[in-house]
Amino acid sequence: MLFNYRYSGNSQVFSDAGSAGISFAPDTHREPTFFVGKLSKKIAFREAISSLHDVVVSDLRFKPKDKTEYKEWAAQQESIWLAEFMQGYDAQAADQKIEGLRADLRNIWDQKDKAMGPFNKAKRAYFDYLYQKDRDAWFVLDPVISVHPDEIFFECFSQDESTYGKLSASYNVFKEVNEFECGTTNIDYSAALYNEFQKIRDYKETDFRVDPGGFQVQTSQEELYHEVKIDLPDSWVRGFLQVSSAMTLPAATFDLHPMDVYNFCSWLRRFKEIKGPRSIRFILEPGKPVRAVFEPWNREIVCARSLYTGPQAREIRIWGRRRILILERLIPIARKFTVHLTGSGLPSFFIADLGDMQFTLGLSGWTANDWSRAGQFDLMAPRAEVSEPDKFRVYNALKSVWFSTAADLVKATGLSSATVLGALGLFTQAGKVIYDLHGGVYRLRELSREPLPMHLLRFSTPEEADAEILVNQGKVSYTENQITGVGTQLKGTVSVQRVYYPVMIIDADERMTNAQCDCDFFYQNKLYKGPCKHMLALRKAYAAK
């Protein structure tokens, strides 16, 4: 999916002994969106925007060691080792021959190194330059910034497509707001910008602007623009939409004291798990302190300062817990952390209350959204049936005020609550609206200038789309059996034109293992191309329960 951006210059931070200035270059392809003001809460903003950068660069995917040099060395040594092995069979004549072979090999490898050396050196220098000097070239999408009548907020997504960050700053963060125009745009953002953010000090007067001048440059000065064209994987955009949809789901909600989050981070820093399950099990009992059990050590941390006020007892597990370390920098300036857990293995949200700012950290069910968990947390909100006129009535009503509760939109449009919520759900899944967890309101935010191809984004594979149809048509049945030390065994029947019999095991980390089916797709591909639609349908039916 190709995204086109055009920026007027580059985002910059200016700093001297007595003042500083932050100037973001917006995407000039979008409608004019700008903001000019002076920061009041400088240190808190510096820490929050730095934590947002930690989300942008986050990549916890497994990275295998680079064994290229070792393999080259082993290939060189193989002939030498073979010659040395044969040395004992031939005595002096063999020694002379081996020395001759060694000399020939050294000459060949020297010639190879001489020929390939400049290329390898240039390749290493190029990637070192990208990582050290232009690290933003490794990123897939610049952050999204939205200006609303009451606040300005940034959104970004991690490189591994599993972590979402949102920083909302009300106008109380600024002691002076000169001018602004509401809207959404992408901003030019780089690693060098992060380094400049660290120079913000409380004693320096700091100007903040999303540069309005970027939309006023004459055509004759076209060279001042620089264009960026990014070919995004569909999975990246789908992940961004997953987070937006997950925000609207029912969730268990509770507050954590900053010291409780500190204890979580401290434990994760001190210990590294070797085997699974790698989860946090939250034990929630009404009127009692929240308890968090870190597996596989079964270490229980009791959050004595944080009581659960929900109506019923619940036990929820989340994975990918090391992403919580992104919150470390916010602990000294946070008043509290509000946690929203949508369910075991489903997305979770941690909202840091920074006074006039809120930092939202959204985590997918796992760090790696690979096929073993496919289908459990795709665009989960159901697709409502809403007529086109009603959808546009809701959208126009929201656009006139920029943010609103569903109840207020019901009054403004005269439509039923179900119709309004259905339309808002559709716009959320299309990337045009976002639900503000902290404020409890829907906000207008268009992720892309052009409409997103939702028919391509909802499912990651054709098998997953077929599995959804099978589950909705009620063609899946199964039995489950607990196997000690292994996990849950699922045996299912999927009736299509004939009956298929998928079998799988769900381990302690909720991963699909030892899966098999009697269909042609499995016999031809095994699991190299992911699970078949019958396995996915079985997993979806089990997850729905």
For the stretch 158-175, pLDDT in tens is: 877 788 899 999 999 988
pLDDT at residue 88 greater than cutoff 90: no
| DSSP code for 182 | -
Question: Is residue 19 scored above 60 in pLDDT?
Answer: yes
pLDDT score of 357: 94
Mean pLDDT for 87-108 is 75
Average pLDDT, the chain: 78
Return the higher-pLDDT residue of 386 and 304: 304
In angstroms, the Cα distances linking 544 to 19, 175, 539 are: 56, 49, 9
> 3-class DSSP state for residue 367?
coil
Collapsed DSSP state (helix, strand, coil) of residue 409: helix
User: Is the confidence at residue 544, as pLDDT, over 80?
Assistant: no
The values of phi and psi at residue 53, to 5°, are -65, -35
Condensed to tens digits (0 to 9), the pLDDT of residues 70-80 reads 777 777 778 77
- Sequence-ordered list of residues with C-beta below 8 angstroms from that of 397, at least 6 positions apart, any chain: 404, 409, 412, 413
Residues 303 and 314 sit within 8 Å (Cβ to Cβ)? no
Taking residues 285-299, what's their average pLDDT?
94
| Between residues 91 and 203, the one the model is more confident about | 203
Answer with the residue of higher pLDDT: 12 or 67: 67
In angstroms, the Cα distances linking 40 to 177, 179, 206, 291, 357 are 11, 16, 8, 37, 12
Residue with the larger pLDDT of the pair 391 and 58: 391
The model's pLDDT over 490-507, given as tens digits with 9 standing for 90+, comes to 999 999 889 999 998 887
First to last CA, the chain: 34
Q: How far is CA 281 from the centre of its chain?
A: 21
Specify the pLDDT at position 316. 92
pLDDT of res. 91: 62
How much of the chain exceeds pLDDT 70, in percent? 73
Nearest to 350 by CA among 306, 311, 304: 306
* Range of weakest confidence among 246-250, 252-256, 332-336, 458-462: 458-462
Residue of 461, 530, 479, 521 whose CA lies nearest to 496: 521
Report residue 245 as tokens.
């949809």
pLDDT over 90, % of the chain: 27
Using alpha carbons, select from 239, 186, 230, 141 the residue that is nearest to residue 457.
239
CA distance 233 to 1: 6
Q: Which residues lie across from 225 on neighbouring strands?
A: 8
Alpha-carbon distance 254 to 216, whole Å?
47
Helices (H), 21-145: 42-56, 68-133
What architecture is the 237-379 domain classified under in CATH? Roll (3.10)
More confident residue, 542 or 17: 542
DSSP for residue 5: E
> Span 524-545, mean pLDDT?
80
Under DSSP, the state recorded for 249 is S
**Mean per-residue pLDDT, 137-162:** 76
Give the per-residue pLDDT at 18: 64
pLDDT at position 231 is 47
Which residues make Cβ contacts (< 8 Å) with residue 227, sequence separation at least 6? 4, 5, 6, 7
Does residue 25 come out as left (phi exceeding 0), alpha (psi in the -120 to 50 range) or beta? beta
Nearest to 52 by CA among 184, 139, 134, 157: 157
Beta bridge partners of 166: 155, 360
Pairing state between β 205-210 and 151-157: unpaired
- pLDDT at residue 11, as a whole number: 60
Question: CATH 1.10.10.10 residue ranges in the chain?
Answer: 382-455
Edge-to-edge strands of the sheet including 299-307? 299-307, 289-294, 279-284, 314-319
Q: Residue 345: its pLDDT value, please?
A: 76
For residues 89 and 351, give the distance between their C-alpha atoms in angstroms, rounded to a whole number: 73
71-95 average pLDDT score: 71
When pLDDT is cut at 50, 70 and 90, the band that residue 380 belongs to is very low
* Residue, of 243 and 5, whose pLDDT is higher: 243
Task: State the DSSP string of 208-243.
Answer: EEE-GGGG---GGGGGGEEEEEEE--HHHHHHHHHH
Please, how many CA atoms are within 13 Å of residue 178, restricted to the half-sphere of its CB?
Answer: 12
State the Cα–Cα distance between residues 446 and 427, nearest whole angstrom: 9
Cα four-point dihedral sign 82, 88, 90, 93:
positive
Identify the pLDDT of residue 13: 59
Structure tokens at 459: 């499912």
Query: Where are the domain boundaries for CATH 3.10.150.10 in the chain?
Result: 237-379
Query: What's the farthest any 2 CA atoms get from each other in the chain?
Result: 101
Residue 4 clears pLDDT 60, i.e. is over it:
no
| 131 or 211: which leads in pLDDT | 211
CATH number (1.10.10.10, 1.10.760.10, 1.10.357.10, 3.60.21.10) of 382-455 reads 1.10.10.10
Before 296, cis peptide (omega within 30)? yes
